Homo-oligomer: A and B are copies of this chain.
């Protein structure tokens, strides 16, 4: 812990985590039902694109839930609509990558994100044509046509594989399987870990079955720490891959030091640092060699540009260098 807690704080720490080194975590928790089928699907996707030499990126997106009950009514969630992941996926696809999109169910998806979570109801775009058909109202057509064409092209070429999760347990199991699959293409794999993964959870063995009843008192919750999966991912599961993690903070004064600690601890290639309130206009790309400040000028933002269009090309050029260096060593 790197800062003092407020004395009026409603939380506190209580002892070490059960599986801080991941030992035992996967044995103690229950694998999601669709794990084998998903692995098969991802293997097929990786094999197909591997045979053409295409680079593949795993983009993780959205927040993970932490169920408080086995028959879940309540859960802890992380703030994330999945905007970063959905935009980034479009950027990678436009730049020739195939994308495995590991994303929270019902969070934003590439392409359709332009029309979901919108102030405008989707039905406001539609007009009966008077002949039994429905057309998109003319004022919305040009923008939608552009999105639709990109979406259809990606679908036709089979460049996008979507895998859904809801809770942190599903996420951790799916991540391990997909990583095993992606590790087969070695340096050509990129991991772009943008999901807002919970740091805390309630282990299966400690969870109550039924809905927590509201009684006459306050509620005390005790959560264990989620094991830091980045460590085995980088060191054991996919040691040749190019790995990018994200650091989201609300306090700017701790952002860079936390990113550097993370790079040193896990040994991966890059951290994208961002602050909650400015994350759409400002990120810092942090590697062992540099801290690069990347800002989206206000004018460009107003014109609809997105900061992912600035920093993803930076990541891609570093990934290309990573592949080049590896080929020199072989």
Contacts and interface: CB of A to CB of B under 8 A. Distances in A.
Interface of A: 1-3, 5-6, 8-17, 20, 65, 68-69, 71-79, 81, 106, 109, 111-112, 115-117, 121-123, 126, 128-129, 132-136, 138, 141, 144-145, 147-149, 151-152, 196, 198-200, 202, 205-226, 248-251, 276-277
A74 to B, nearest CB: 6
A117 B166 CA distance: 13
Contacts of A148: 123, 126, 128, 134
Contact of A219 (B116, B225, B276): B225
B78 A74 contact: yes
Between A8, A71, A123, A198, the greatest number of chain B beta carbons within 10 A of the residue's beta carbon is seen for A123
Contacts of A276: 71, 73, 211
Nearest to A114: B123
A141 B151 contact: no
Given A10-B221, A208-B9, A220-B220, A126 B144 contact: yes
Contacts of A14: 217-220
A250 B67 CA distance: 14
Nearest to A138: B133
B13 A215 contact: yes
A100 B46 CA distance: 49
A20 B111 CA distance: 47
Given A71-B277, A211-B249, A221-B221, 9 more contacts: A6-B208, A9-B206, A17-B218, A75-B76, A77-B77, A126-B148, A135-B136, A200-B218, A214-B225
Contacts of A209: 6, 250
Contacts of A215: 1, 13, 225
